[in-house]
Amino acid sequence: MSDKDKNAAEEAAEGKSKTNFIEAIINEEIKEGKHEGRVHTRFPPEPNGYLHIGHAKAICLSFGIAQKYKGKCNLRFDDTNPSKEETEYVESIKEDVKWLGFQWDEEHFTSDYFDQLYEWAEKMILDGKAYVDDQSAEEIAAQKGTPTKAGIESPYRNRTPEENLRLFRDMRAGKYKEGEKVLRAKIDMAAANMHLRDPLMYRIMHKEHHRTADKWCIYPMYDYAHGQSDYIEKITNSLCTLEFEVHRPLYDWFLDQLVEDEHYRPRQTEFARLNLSYTVMSKRKLLQLVKENYVNGWDDPRMPTVSGMRRRGYTPGSLRNFADTIGIAKRDNVIDVALLEHAVREDLNKVAPRVFGVLDPVKVIITNYPEGQTEEMELINNPEDESQGSRKVPFSREVFIERNDFMVDPPRKFFRMGPGREVRLKGAYIVKCEDYKMNAETGKIEEIYCTYDPDTKSGMSQANRKVKGTLHWVSCAHALDAEIRIYDRLFMDEAPDGHEDKDFKEFLNPESLQKTTAKVEPALANAKALDHFQFQRIGYFNLDPDTQKEGRLIFNRTVPLRDSWSKKGK
């Protein structure tokens, strides 16, 4: 654990951070002496996909609460549906949780509890609380009624416990086909809460389970498994998202039937899930993007997955800060991605070295600089961290600058180059734009002609002269060509998330991934590959995305014109 983490934990323990409503509930429980002040949470993903930024919020919450109260937090894989779950996902989830900076106290699988759950099911059958239904899924659905109309009881509802037990054991023994029989809880077909209308507890699935293989052919449903798993693990606070709110009465009902030690009864509390603007987080849709090759895998840098964001250069700390900033509440929310991007910039600015690279080069010729001369300019690697030192960058008569760092007719607050203007080439000289060559047909700038002031080299007497702005540059003679993948937002507009069936792929940004040849400084010669990300206001480079261990570089500004400039004119 880093010092920073420690401080955060201590601060939280001392109650310096703001308290959310869940902490208020826990404080109340502690005051009442519930669980003897013990706090034990859990993060229970289904291993059917990769974790995304929404999960990161949930992880920070459950693990964060445990840290704050010096309690425990378990990682539990909710693997009750073998048709969707895979070991690949289990591994990625563990990796992502660790990367986020959390270590779970216990690791479990719901499948570890299949025996116990089965035993409890038999008990419920014997108690007359559960029965085997022979009807089809369609028939059961039809009998369920609607939110405004009560359901009707199954003709099999009143079988004797003995018969139910025999049938249930036969189900387990594999005597029936999928869909032929199910086990249902006997609650109330007229309940106002649809989830209480004799919900399914077990269904038959002749499927290989990623952990129990073919041991079972009946699998428990989420509602039957979750509360009991919490109970088994002695979870005190079971935190989940809002859509499970209507499940809580059922969660409690099952516990009512089975809890023997009230002391260990867990409590479910719901919070609002994260919604991010311009971001699709539905696992189903992310899976579709992967399967249909719209992206290059779950960890494609454009994906909102934890692994994608890792490749994109987000730091664990920035994600935790983000989670902390958005807080926890029960009301639906949509967070602007700008807030997330702000969190990375804040973090990256402190750690990432700066380099020169020109994505869209225009040649600048310094007409009064001696031909063939080269100077080594000393550049600070990170203005926010002296310990990162400096490097030498060669300078010569012809340099590339960014195309959008020059405007023929600059608006009021444009501090970069324009005809007749002086700007500083960062770490080198002040230059003045004397002339430029424009393609008459396309209006494209082809070359810019400048003169330099030899007395203004960084560190020299005249170096402090005020100029409009500062530009990054790369010497033409020394520039390296770098194949760069430029990543931008995956979705341009608000694509429908969740279960809406509109084709969200229509909202994909066709230019979310572009390849270009940029001019970069020689120091990047050993970079294996460069991925460039547009974080709204800074360009960010990830060196060597394969190992993900190498550099975090900030390419000196690659910001497009601000809207407000064009609005205001000059």
Partner RNA sequence: UGCCCGAUGGUGUAAUUGGCAACACGUCUGACUCUGAAUCAGAAAAGUCCAGGUUCGAACCCUGGUCGGGCAACCA
Shortest distance, position 328 Cβ to RNA, whole Å: 5
Asked whether position 34 contacts RNA by CB under 7 A, the answer is no
Shortest distance, position 533 Cβ to RNA, whole Å: 14
The residue type at 33: G
Determine phi and psi for 271, rounding to 5 degrees. Answer: -135, 160
Q: How far apart are CA 508 and CA 289, in angstroms?
A: 10
Exactly one of 68, 159, 283, 391 is catalytic; name it. 283
Q: Which stretch binds RNA (CB under 7 A): 4-12, 199-207, 304-312, 368-376?
A: 199-207
Exactly one of 29, 46, 122, 550 is catalytic; name it. 46
Determine phi and psi for 313, rounding to 5 degrees. Answer: 110, 0
Cβ closest to RNA, residue 389 vs residue 459: 459
**Are the CB atoms for 553 and 354 separated by under 8 Å?**
yes
Cβ closest to RNA, residue 234 vs residue 330: 330
Asked whether position 26 contacts RNA by CB under 7 A, the answer is no
Candidate residues 203, 211, 311, 519; the one interacting with RNA per rule CB under 7 A: 203
Q: How far apart are CA 331 and CA 241, in angstroms?
A: 11
Nearest to 230 by CA among 125, 116, 124, 67: 116
Binding mask 35-74 for RNA (x = CB under 7 A): ---------x-x----------------------------
28 is catalytic: no
From residue 539, alpha-carbon distances to 312, 378, 534, 552 in Å are 11, 22, 5, 11
Candidate residues 15, 179, 389, 454; the one interacting with RNA per rule CB under 7 A: 179
Q: Which stretch binds RNA (CB under 7 A): 7-15, 329-337, 437-445, 504-512?
A: 329-337
Exactly one of 207, 273, 330, 489 is catalytic; name it. 273
Asked whether position 351 contacts RNA by CB under 7 A, the answer is no
Shortest distance, position 558 Cβ to RNA, whole Å: 8
Cβ closest to RNA, residue 315 vs residue 456: 456
Q: How far apart are CA 482 and CA 527, in angstroms?
A: 9
Asked whether position 291 contacts RNA by CB under 7 A, the answer is no
Asked whether position 502 contacts RNA by CB under 7 A, the answer is no
Asked whether position 380 contacts RNA by CB under 7 A, the answer is yes
From residue 285, alpha-carbon distances to 454, 457, 487 in Å are 58, 54, 20
Asked whether position 178 contacts RNA by CB under 7 A, the answer is yes
Token pair 């509802």: residue = 157
Rounding to the nearest 10 degrees, give the CA dihedral for residues 380, 381, 386, 390.
Answer: -60
Cross-strand partners of 530: 484, 543
Asked whether position 207 contacts RNA by CB under 7 A, the answer is no
Rounded to 5°, the CA angle 57-61-62 comes to 120
283 is catalytic: yes
Total binding residues toward RNA, as defined by CB under 7 A: 96
Binding mask 551-570 for RNA (x = CB under 7 A): ---x-xx-x-xx-xx--x--
Asked whether position 216 contacts RNA by CB under 7 A, the answer is no
Nearest to 78 by CA among 50, 54, 104, 112: 112
Catalytic residues: 46, 273, 283
